[in-house]
Amino acid sequence: MNTNQLLSYPLERFLHWEKTQPNKVYMTQPFPDGKVVDYTWAEVGDQVRRMAAYLVSLDLPKKSHIALLGKNSAHWIMADIAIWMAGHVSVPVYPTMSGESAGYVIEHSDAIMLMLGKMDGVTDNWNGIEPHLPKDLTIVSLPMSPRNDTPHWDDIIKQHEPLEALRLLAPEELATIIYTSGSTGQPKGVMHNQVSAARACEAMFDCFGLTPDDRMISYLPLSHAAERAAVQLHSMYNGFHVYFSDSLDTFAEDLRRARPTFFFSVPRLWTKFHQAVAAKMPDEKLSKLLKVPLLNRVVRKKILTQLGLNHCRIAVTGSAPLSPHLVAWYRSLGLEMLDGYGMTENFAASHFSRVGQVRLGYVGSPVKGVVARINPETEELEVKSPAQMMGYYKMPEQTAAEVTADGFMKTGDRGEIDAHGRLKLTGRVKELFKTAKGKYVAPAPVENKLSEHVALDAICVAGTGLPQPIALATISPELLPRLQDEGYVEQLTGELAEFLQETNATLDEHERLDCLVIVAEEWTVENEFLTPTLKIRRNVIEDKYMANAEEWLAQRQPVIWAQV
pLDDT at 4 over 60: no
Model confidence band, residue 539 (pLDDT cutoffs 50, 70, 90) = confident
Model confidence band, residue 188 (pLDDT cutoffs 50, 70, 90) = very high
Alpha-carbon distances of 328 from 188, 227, 283, 323, 338, rounded to whole Å: 37, 25, 11, 9, 11
Strands 111-116, 138-141: pairing kind: parallel
Percent of the chain topping pLDDT 70: 98
Spell out the domain ranges in the chain.
3-244, 432-561
Q: Is the model more confident about 181 or about 130?
A: 130
- SS3 of residue 319 by DSSP: coil
Long-range contacts of 401-409 (CB under 8 A, 24+ apart): 402/345, 408/371, 408/373, 408/382, 408/383, 408/384, 409/343, 409/345, 409/346, 409/382, 409/383, 409/384, 409/385
- Is 254:243 a contact under the CB 8 Å cutoff? yes
Distance CA 3, CA 168 (A): 23
Distance CA 161, CA 51 (A): 9
- Is 375:434 a contact under the CB 8 Å cutoff? no
Residue 393 is classified by DSSP as T
Distance CA 524, CA 167 (A): 41
3-state helix, strand, coil in the chain (%, to 5): 40, 20, 40
pLDDT value for 423: 95
Distance CA 354, CA 358 (A): 6
pLDDT tens per residue across span 325-382: 888 899 899 898 899 999 999 999 999 999 888 888 899 999 999 999 999 988 899 9
Alpha-carbon distances of 211 from 62, 199, 218, 238, 549, rounded to whole Å: 35, 17, 17, 6, 53
Long-range contacts of 375-380 (CB under 8 A, 24+ apart): 378/414, 378/429, 379/414, 379/415, 379/416, 379/426, 379/429, 380/410, 380/411, 380/412, 380/413, 380/414, 380/415, 380/429
Query: Which among 4, 221, 364, 481 has a CA at the least distance from the CA of 229?
Result: 221
- SS3 of residue 169 by DSSP: coil
Sign of CA dihedral 226, 232, 238, 242: positive
Q: Which fold has domain 3-244?
A: Rossmann fold (3.40.50)
pLDDT at 227 over 60: yes
pLDDT at 543 over 60: yes
pLDDT value for 5: 43
Distance CA 338, CA 372 (A): 19
pLDDT at 6 over 90: no
Maximum pairwise Cα distance, the chain: 73
Model confidence band, residue 51 (pLDDT cutoffs 50, 70, 90) = very high
Q: Is the model more confident about 321 or about 212?
A: 212
What is the DSSP secondary-structure string of 491-508? HHHHHHHHHHHHHHTTS-
Which range of 125-139, 281-295, 346-360, 444-458 scores highest in mean pLDDT? It is: 125-139
* Region 459-486 average pLDDT: 92
Distance CA 126, CA 120 (A): 7
**Position 4, amino acid:** N
Q: Where are the beta strands (DSSP E) in 120-249?
A: 138-141, 174-179, 189-193, 215-218, 241-244
CATH placement of domain 432-561: 3.30.300.30
Distance CA 48, CA 83 (A): 9
Distance CA 403, CA 407 (A): 6
* Region 283-292 average pLDDT: 89
* Region 444-467 average pLDDT: 90
Model confidence band, residue 280 (pLDDT cutoffs 50, 70, 90) = confident
Name 85's Cβ contacts closer than 8 Å, sequence gap at least 6.
11, 48, 49, 52, 163, 166, 167, 168
Q: At what angle do helices 295-307 and 267-280 cross, to 10 degrees?
A: 130
pLDDT tens per residue across span 411-446: 999 899 999 999 998 888 888 888 888 888 889 889
